[in-house]
Structures are given as C-alpha cells and as structure tokens.
A and B are shown apart, each in its own frame.
Chain A
Amino acid sequence: MRITAAEKQATRGRIVDSARELFRTRGFDATTTRDIARAAGIAAGTLFNYFDSKEAVVVTLAAEGLARARAEFTDRDAGGSLEEDLFALISAELRQIKPLRKFIAPVLETALSPLACADRAGNHEALRVDHLELVAEIARRHDLAEIPPMALEAYWALYTGVLAFWASDKSSKQEDTLALLDQSINMFAGWLNSAAGTPR
C-alpha cells in the first residue's frame, strides 16, 4: 500500500502531538517510544520511519517552538535597542520551549551545541541557521553591517551557553537566566557596536 505525503505528514504530526502530551503528563524519562507509538495509533516499529529516537522527537518539538517564537518576534513591533531586540527574540524562544525545559538537554547535545554543529552535517543545521539569520537581520536593522562569521560563532556559543544554563537553572522562575541573558546580550551588543565603531 502506498502512503501519500499527506498521510505521512499527518502521522508525523500525530507522533509529535502524542509525544508532547506524554512528556507533559508523564515526563520525558518515563515515556518510551512504544508509548508514543501507541498513543499515536501506529505500530512501535513505524515510529522509527519518522524519528530515530525519542530525543529526535524532542528536537522537532523544540524546532517548532523556536519557529513559533521567531514568527511571534517578527510580527511584533520590535523597535527597541539592539540589546532589547535580541533579548526579546531569545526570551520569546525560551517562553515557547519552556514546556521542554527539563528534557531539553538532548536537543542541546544533538542539535544546538557548538560541538554538535562542528561538522554541520546533521539535519539540525536549520535550527542554527534560522536563528542566526534573524540575529543578522536584527543587527542590520540597527545599522550594523554584516556580522563577521567569527562574531556569529561567538554569539552562538553565548546563546547555547544561556540555554544550557536555563536547562538547569534552579533559581525561582529561572530568574537567574534572565540576568545571565541580559548580561550576555549586553556584552555581545557592546562588542558588535565597538567593532562597528558606533559610539556607546
């Protein structure tokens, strides 16, 4: 029997939705791929036609959240300083992926970390590229020229560092992450501005 692209897409969607719900209700560790398959109404083995692992499902969930956050950020009238706009982008992302916070570690390890991206061969490159393109766009909006590749590397290390800190932030309502994010962005924006010769 041939499966159409639309059916494939629908099955994929069911898997992701089931996983989201199971992670939310049972937690990441207590959920197996078998549980996800059952909830999605497919055979256990079929799931692996779509995702290599449970972690890969989380990466997809995170990617969806991050994309929603970028869209929300783009729709919103930014209009703040460079620091403020960057802060708004990342905080919008954190809000969207907050339900995944406790099991975001695999996403960081497999998809986002600078180490994971070193070979740039994975399917997760889009996550990185999409975010960095928006950062470059924000910088242009603030009259900064193209951000040099090395500066983007440094930015990415900072960004993923903040995410890693957030994943294990034990402060009340992760307020320490907000402080770290604010200070990291100030540092990066200060650097970009001084490199561009903009008086601060």
Chain B
Amino acid sequence: MAPQLAELIAALPETDAAAPAAVHAGLPDLLSRSSQRPIPIGRFQRLSALGTLQAKIGAAYLFHWLRGWFKSADENKRLLAEAHWKTAVRVLDSMSYLRGAVMKIGQTLANFPDIAPREFIETLDRLHFDAPPMHWSLLREMVHNELGDDPENLFESFEKQAFAAASLGQVHRARLKTGEEVAVKIQYPGIARAIESDFRNLFLFMMPARLSRDWENTKDQLEDLQRRLAQEADYVLEADNQRKARALFRDEDGIVVPRVFPQYSTSRILTMERLEGTHLREYVARNPSQAERNEVALKLLTSWYRMMYAGRMHYIDMHPGNYLVLEDGRLGLLDFGFIISLEGEEWELFRKVDRPLTTGRREDRIAVLKEWNEIRDDETDRLRLIDEFGAWCWMARYRGGVYGFDDEAEFRHGIDLFTEMLRKRYSRGRPNTPAMARGHFAWRALMYLLKAKVDIRSLAEREVKATGWDRSDYAPSP
C-alpha cells in the first residue's frame, strides 16, 4: 500500500467525539460491512460491482461531492458517508497509476477547510508533498525517452529521490550543466492516455444514467475532472501557460513565476527554475505578523488579478501548496497545470462581471449571474442562492476599504452557501462553471488562512486597467 494512502486512511476519523454514543456503537460493524460490499452509491453500485477502473474514478469524484452533501445532514448520515469515503480510498489504493487523479481530488478537498475534517486536510496537504517516487530505473528510462539521454549525462546533478509529488507525476531536484538549480517534473508513462480511455469507458458505462434527473450535473462534474486531468497531463501546455504568466510580472511586483527550460522540457517532462521558500500553510504556522500576512495576501491577489486581467488566464489551483514565500519576501507561484483561458465569449462574459464587481448593485449582479449560469426565470431558489454566493465572493471588492478576511462567521457563511449550492446541484452552467466556482471559493479560503486585512478594491482597480475596457458609466473615476 502506498504510504500516502495509508496515512490518508489512518487520518480519517474512526469516530466523531461529537456524535451520539449510539452511532459510535454501530460504527465498527458498519465500517467492516462497508469495506466488504461494493460502494453503495445507488446506480453506481452496479458499476462498482463490476470492479471497473472507470467506475472507481467516478466513485472517487462523486465521494468528493457526497461529503459536501452529508456535511449538513444529521450525524448518522455523515458517519455513513465517512465510512463510504474510507471504502472508496481503499478501492482507489488498488490503482497505483491513478495516484495523480486521487491526489488532485485530495487537493481540491483541501481547499474546503470546513467541509472535510481538519486532520483530513492536513493529511492531504502532506500527501501533496510526500508521495513516494517512481523508482530510479523507470525515471531514467523516461528521461532517456523524452530528452534523448540519461539524467546523469544531461544534468550536472540529479537527485534520485523525488522531493515532491506533482500532478500525474513527481518532481526531482537537479542542477543544469550551466549551473541553474532546477526542478524537473516527470510524468508517469502512459498515464494521460490511460485516464482518457477510462473516461471514455466511464461515459459509455453510464449511458443508462442519462435519463435520470441528476445526469446533467454528474456529467458536468465528470467532464470538469476530465478536462482538468487532460490539461494537467499536457506539460507543453503547462510550460506555455507558465511562460505567459512569467512575462506578466516585473521585479517590483515581488512575484515570481519560475522560468521554464524548454530544451529540457517535453510533453512529459517539465524543467523549471527551482524556488526555495516556505509553503503557505507552513508560513502561517510560524505566526507571521498581521503586516507580513497582509503583504503576502496582497501579492497573492495581485498575482491572481494580473493573470486574470492582463493575462486572461484564470488560475484555478489556488491551493496553499502552490504558493511559496521566498526568503527575500517575494511570492513564488507554482503549478500552471490548470488554467482556464478567458477568450472569446468567455472573456466577454468576464467583462460583464466587472460591472457588479465594481458597483455592488444587486440588479447588476443578478443580470450577470443569470447569463453566466444560464439561470431561467422560474429558478428563483437557484438565483437567490447563487446571488448570495456571488455577493459573498465579491463583497470585499465592491465595498472597498480594508476588509477583514479573518471573520470566521462570515467565512463559514460562504462555506454554507457553497455547500448548499453543491447539495442542490446548482453549480451547473457553462462548461467551466464548476472550476470557476472552485476558484472563487479558493481565494477566499486562502485569505481566511492568512487572516488577511487588506483593501482589495484599490488593488483590483489598478489591475483591471490592463484590460483597456471602457468602464466610464460605472467605475469610479481614477
């Protein structure tokens, strides 16, 4: 069993101290039964019983949502959901090559601090950095295949042990012959096509489910995951995104995107400048001052807005593991594996969002949200909820002034709204909507993690200028 998954299983709570004793009494039995039978999730049961890999991918992803649904259910149901989670993790453990996919789901969950238990999130964070490596012989062959020579000939030095797990692969420290310290990200052989084919089969297997009410939503979520994995498997695309993002920042921004070394990069290997620093969660654990945390928060948001407005790139992976606070105070951005490119129709829609973001007027917000999420006039509850979530996401910006992101009750309110949206399956809309919703939730989660108190309106006003939009009828005069 892969150690990181063993840790994951160990970290899942066996019991919940807050749960009634009666529930506890039945739990061991429940766990043992649930580990022996197929994962009981309705129509997926048949798929799981077939023991197909594709069913397991689907199950893994659905469990991620399931957790959200059960969070506000009663204790009994929640414990049942946890037992199912446990089973799912065990099932997934049998599929070593899906490690990447499992980790991705883990990272997504780690963005939802209060949906998953704290211990669970901390384990997932470790999972992100401690995954065991492909052995050296396999790695050597991958490097030889991709770059035409063995790592010991190509590089001045190359560490045999991976120092981080990456999407669908792992990362090694190395030094180029020209002296640069680099991080070399290497993908598992064949994993991209294996996952692609699993998804094809999954959709085939799910044909009978197409008639059901939930199909569209389930399909959206799976397509979201599929799109994400396909993008992340393409290191050429990632290198392009990274180069594009790097060009957006100047020295005075104090934000650094690692340089890519194209002569040592292919679709399966990505070699980039190595940044040394402290990951965000570790940084927070060192109790930096409010001013220091604010500084990091401002850089983090500047990077997000800069990519969005000047780069037309929506950076979705706002996971604490993707940010490094460097010794000199600069902020390092890692992992450009999942970027939504804002082009054409999407950019036009995005432009329209600027109005409610700026005015804060409800009618402006409603108009945009209806269009973006394709909400019909008779979907009053959906509109209400999405509007409330929109207001929660954007409030800090349209209100202006210093905003305290440290308010637990307010943050919890956002989680409740987000969870309710998931539970009611309101996240459908345009193909990218689930990912966008995650991105919006994620930046608030990071601000809360930093307990930041910052003025994001003035920062955003500065960044939005790069678009050249005519905002004269709603924006404040400069």
Residues of A bordering B, CB below 8 Å: 80-81, 83-85, 87-88, 91, 95, 171-176, 178-179, 182-183, 186
Contacts and interface: CB of A to CB of B under 8 A. Distances in A.
A122 B411 CA distance: 76
A104 to B, nearest CB: 18
Given A95-B144, A171-B193, A179 B97 contact: yes
B136 A179 contact: no
B138 A178 contact: yes
A179 B188 contact: yes
Contacts of A175: 142, 145, 189-190, 268
Contacts of A83: 135
A178 B140 CA distance: 11
A179 B189 contact: yes
B141 interface: yes
Interface residues of B, number: 21
Given A87-B141, A175-B268, 9 more contacts: A80-B137, A84-B138, A87-B137, A174-B145, A175-B189, A175-B190, A178-B141, A179-B189, A183-B97
Contacts of B140: 88, 91
A81 to B, nearest CB: 7
A151 B145 CA distance: 31
Interface in B133-167: 134-138, 140-142, 144-146
A95 B267 CA distance: 21
Contacts of A81: 135
Contact of B190 (A84, A95, A171, A186): A171
A58 B271 CA distance: 39
A88 B145 contact: no
B222 interface: no
The 7 lowest CB-CB distance pairs between A and B, nearest first, are A175-B189, A178-B189, A88-B137, A179-B190, A87-B137, A176-B190, A84-B135
Given A179-B188, A179-B190, A84 B145 contact: no
Interface string B112-149: 00000000000000000000001111101110111000
B230 to A, nearest CB: 15
Given A171-B190, A171-B193, A178 B135 contact: no
Contact of A80 (B96, B136, B188): B136
Given A80-B136, A87-B135, A179 B268 contact: no
Contacts of B190: 171, 175-176, 178-179
Contact of A182 (B136, B138, B145, B267): B138
Q: Is the interface of B mostly helix, strand, loop or mixed?
A: helix
A186 B137 CA distance: 13
B191 interface: yes
B49 interface: no
Nearest to B135: A84
Contact of B145 (A87, A178, A183, A186): A178
Interface string B188-209: 1111011000000000000000
Contacts of A91: 137-138, 140-141
8 contacts: A84-B135, A84-B137, A87-B135, A88-B140, A178-B190, A179-B194, A182-B134, A183-B97
B136 A173 contact: no
Contacts, number: 53
A182 B97 CA distance: 11
Contacts of A87: 135, 137-138, 141
Given A179-B189, A179-B190, A173 B135 contact: no
Contacts of B97: 179, 183
A114 to B, nearest CB: 25
A83 to B, nearest CB: 7
B168 to A, nearest CB: 12
Nearest to B144: A95
A153 to B, nearest CB: 24
Interface in B48-100: 96-97
Nearest to B145: A173
Interface centre among A85, A95, A182, A183 (most CB of B within 10 A): A182
A30 B190 CA distance: 32
Contacts of B194: 179
A163 to B, nearest CB: 15
Interface centre among A85, A88, A172, A175 (most CB of B within 10 A): A175
A172 B193 CA distance: 10
A78 to B, nearest CB: 9
A74 B372 CA distance: 63
Nearest to A85: B137
Contact of B142 (A171, A178, A183): A178
Contacts of B191: 179
B97 to A, nearest CB: 7
Given A179-B189, A179-B191, A179-B194, A173 B137 contact: no
A175 B144 CA distance: 11
B457 to A, nearest CB: 48
Contacts of A176: 189-190, 193
Contacts of A84: 135-138
Contacts of B144: 95
A84 B267 CA distance: 25
Nearest to B146: A173
A91 B267 CA distance: 21
Contacts of A95: 144
Nearest to B142: A178
B137 to A, nearest CB: 4
A107 to B, nearest CB: 21
Nearest to A79: B136
Contacts of A171: 190, 193
A171 B193 CA distance: 9
Nearest to B191: A179
Contacts of B142: 175, 178
Contacts of A182: 134, 138, 189
Interface centre among B140, B190, B193 (most CB of A within 10 A): B190
A69 to B, nearest CB: 13
Interface in B277-334: none
Contacts of A88: 137, 140
B268 to A, nearest CB: 7
